[in-house]
Structure 1
Amino acid sequence: MTYSLRIADLPQSERPRERLIAYGAKTLSTAELIAILLGTGQGAGKLSAVGLGQYILQELSQHQRDPLGVLRDVNIQELTKVPGVGPAKATTILAAIELGKRVYQSRPPEKTVIDDPQVAAAALSNELMWQSQERFAVLMLDVKNKLIATQVITIGTATETLAHPREIFREIIRQGATRAIVAHNHPSGNLEPSAEDLSLTRQLLEGSRFLGIPLLDHLILGNGNHLSLRQTTSLWEETPQGA
């Protein structure tokens, strides 16, 4: 696609707003989404809004950085260093990023039925998803899988956290929960479970069966994604929970 000075100069079928309306936001490239926020282009080479969006991503990707990772935590000074991005455009981008974070991290209200790993991950994202340290948390549920409470049990370093089964079950029992989902984050974004993750899950499954409090899942969260150990391992087949 060749970018001209104005979005109006593009064929209607290639204009970001029109494409979003016709095909949905998911079909747009990151540069096109930024272009909608920018509204207009300019900068070096008199770029269109889409071209300026591409240029912003190019600038953020310097030194082999992930531009989306940088964009997530970008500040006003970094954005306004990009030619063509003044305070108005920069604040619009920052507002959109913050709104996206808040929507993603919004916690389901209490009594929400937690019946899917995606819903469980959303309930814990505020405590776990973008943290720079590993955290271990518990979702506590009633007999109908309705959310009672969430609780961060431990906070570790950038690479590891320790959670003893005793501390986890103490909180579950204290809250009067009859079922639970545990979760922790990997700040690196790599969701592959470690040997320690699998070992702890086995201990928790054994403890859950002994106490009669089914452990429904163990989630790993990081950088906007999640992984369900129940769906990706055979641990629940090895230690059935009766749920």
Structure 2
Amino acid sequence: MEYLTIKEMPEDARPRERLERSGPGSLSNQELLAITLSTGVVKDGQKYTAIDLATQLLRHFESLKGVAQADFVQLTEVAGIGPAKACQIMAAFELGKRVAMFSGNLKPVIRQPTDVFEYFRDQMSLLPKEVFRVVALDTKNRIIKDQIVSEGTLNASIVHPRDVFRVAVVNSAASLILLHNHPSGDPMPSQEDIAITRRLVEVGKLMEIPILDHLIIGGGTFVSLKEMNLL
């Protein structure tokens, strides 16, 4: 198999050179993916530049989020994406997730729902299934611990109060914020979401560990059940 490098493309179409001149923020998703892939391929007599491969990935999975959520087998189903390139793509997105997690060391003070969203957006937005996370706060509303307590479609049987409030007790939390994602991209709460929240709020009152809010992240945005008066 013959490989085509990005340098073989016309100079004004080379993503690397554009990145050097203008920074990564100036590049499209297609161009950033092309740099990650590094080279194109010639397969079955068909030439694919790195830009071609990036375009095919975005078209096949419909969005950058779709590419990020794809597994190894799904990636290799795209023409021109072999095992090595599938690994490059998965490694790049994994690094992004880990960098987002490092930001947790900053432990911000939570003053409004937007603060929670900004802190957890990158960790929660690309998850392929629902994840329910408990965020423990100290008396100054600073994050002291966050922990995933369930994965999968939410229902009352898998989000149990003992698991939620264990996070609070072990970490001597003054209050909690609940957080989960909707992989569908629609952050509006379901009736099950509302019922679970109200159940946990009542338990929090009995334990004198208030639940301040429940945020649902989806499609790059969020809703706050507190702001919707659903707590």
Q: TM > 0.5 between the two?
A: yes
Q: Which deviates further from its counterpart, 167-176 or 48-57?
A: 167-176
Shift of residue 151, structure 1, vs aligned partner: 3.5
**Distance of 1:27 and 1:112 partners within structure 2:** 30
Asked if the contact 1:141–1:177 (Cα under 8 Å) also holds between the matched residues in 2, the reply is yes
Partner SS for 1:113: coil
Asked if the contact 1:36–1:49 (Cα under 8 Å) also holds between the matched residues in 2, the reply is yes
What is the TM-score normalised by the length of structure 1? 0.67
Partner SS for 1:190: coil
Deviations 1:13-56 (A, max 9, x none): x4312332344424322221122123333435434331232234
**Distance of 1:22 and 1:213 partners within structure 2:** 52
The letter for the 2-side match of 1:46 is K
Shift of residue 176, structure 1, vs aligned partner: 1.8
Q: 1:207 to 1:104 in 2, by over 3 A?
A: same
Report what 1:10 is aligned to.
Answer: 10
The letter for the 1-side match of 2:187 is L
Report what 1:112 is aligned to.
Answer: 107
Partner SS for 1:139: strand
Report what 2:26 is aligned to.
Answer: 27
Shift of residue 120, structure 1, vs aligned partner: 4.5
Deviations 1:153-177 (A, max 9, x none): 4x36x43322355764464245321
Q: 1:10 to 1:87 in 2, by over 3 A?
A: same
**Distance of 1:16 and 1:228 partners within structure 2:** 36
Q: How many residues align?
A: 220
Asked if the contact 1:35–1:50 (Cα under 8 Å) also holds between the matched residues in 2, the reply is yes
The letter for the 1-side match of 2:31 is E
**Distance of 1:52 and 1:129 partners within structure 2:** 21
RMSD: 3.9
Asked if the contact 2:155–2:196 (Cα under 8 Å) also holds between the matched residues in 1, the reply is no
State the identity %: 35
Asked if the contact 1:140–1:148 (Cα under 8 Å) also holds between the matched residues in 2, the reply is yes
Asked if the contact 1:113–1:144 (Cα under 8 Å) also holds between the matched residues in 2, the reply is no
Q: 1:186 to 1:55 in 2, by over 3 A?
A: closer
Q: Show the 5 A alignment for 1:82-121.
A: 82-83=79-80, 85-106=81-102, 108-109=104-105, 112-115=107-110, 116-121=115-120
What is the TM-score normalised by the length of structure 2? 0.69
Report what 1:241 is aligned to.
Answer: none
**Distance of 2:210 and 2:19 partners within structure 1:** 44
Q: Show the 5 A alignment for 1:11-90.
A: 11-12=11-12, 14-43=13-42, 45-58=46-59, 60-61=60-61, 68-75=65-72, 78-79=75-76, 82-83=79-80, 85-90=81-86
Flag structure 1 segments of 5+ consecutive residues without an equivalent: 237-243
**Distance of 1:195 and 1:206 partners within structure 2:** 17
Report what 1:239 is aligned to.
Answer: none
Deviations 1:178-214 (A, max 9, x none): 1221122334343111133234445555665676544
Deviations 1:201-234 (A, max 9, x none): 45555665676544332122357x4524157524
The letter for the 2-side match of 1:139 is V
Asked if the contact 1:217–1:229 (Cα under 8 Å) also holds between the matched residues in 2, the reply is yes
**Bigger strand share:** 2
Q: Show the 5 A alignment for 1:1-243.
A: 7-12=7-12, 14-43=13-42, 45-58=46-59, 60-61=60-61, 68-75=65-72, 78-79=75-76, 82-83=79-80, 85-106=81-102, 108-109=104-105, 112-115=107-110, 116-121=115-120, 125=123, 130=127, 132=129, 134-153=130-149, 155=150, 158-162=152-156, 163=159, 168-169=164-165, 171-202=167-198, 204-205=200-201, 213-222=209-218, 225=220, 227-229=222-224, 232-235=227-230
The letter for the 1-side match of 2:89 is I
